[in-house]
Amino acid sequence: MKKIIKTDAEWKAQLSSEEYYVARQKGTERPFTGRYWDHNEHGIYRCVGCGTALFASDTKFDAGCGWPSYFVAIDGDNVREETDRTHGMLRTEVLCNVCDSHLGHVFPDGPPPTGLRYCINSVSLTFEPIKP
């Protein structure tokens, strides 16, 4: 896997201010405000930073949390998990493994078959529609 590395100035030129805040500074968008939290089209959700395929629409579910949620990544090699101890909590952060963009967090309270809930910021994603 080839890593994408850019300078801070290059990221700022490529991303909107909100995308930069979330993807590069590990921010979080407000719940129920993102473009994909209630999005139901068929397709692929990709990394806003590099276009890597991250999640498929058929793994998306309504977790009631206000962020798009998925029970599995398209390819486990495309996402990376790290321990996040910020805000007085212990969580598992999810990042794009290609460009290191912050995506969100993964929790062990999702549906079968994985029991996982990848809780992802909409602003960290783009969407590629695919006709069923």
Task: Output the CATH code of domain 8-129.
Answer: 2.170.150.20
1 pLDDT higher than 80: no
The 10s digit of each residue's pLDDT in 53-64 is 999 999 999 999
- In 3D space, the residue among 90, 91, 89, 93 whose CA is nearest the CA of residue 80 turns out to be 93
Strand arrangement, sheet containing 53-56: 53-56, 43-47, 125-129
The 10s digit of each residue's pLDDT in 42-85 is 999 999 999 999 999 999 999 999 999 999 999 999 999 999 99
In contact, 2 and 11? CB cutoff 8 Å: no
CA distance 63 to 120: 11
Average pLDDT over residues 97-112: 97
The total of other beta-carbon atoms located within 10 Å of residue 110's CB is: 20
Give the residue extent of every domain in the chain: 8-129
pTM of the model: 0.95
132 pLDDT higher than 90: no
List active site positions. Answer: 119
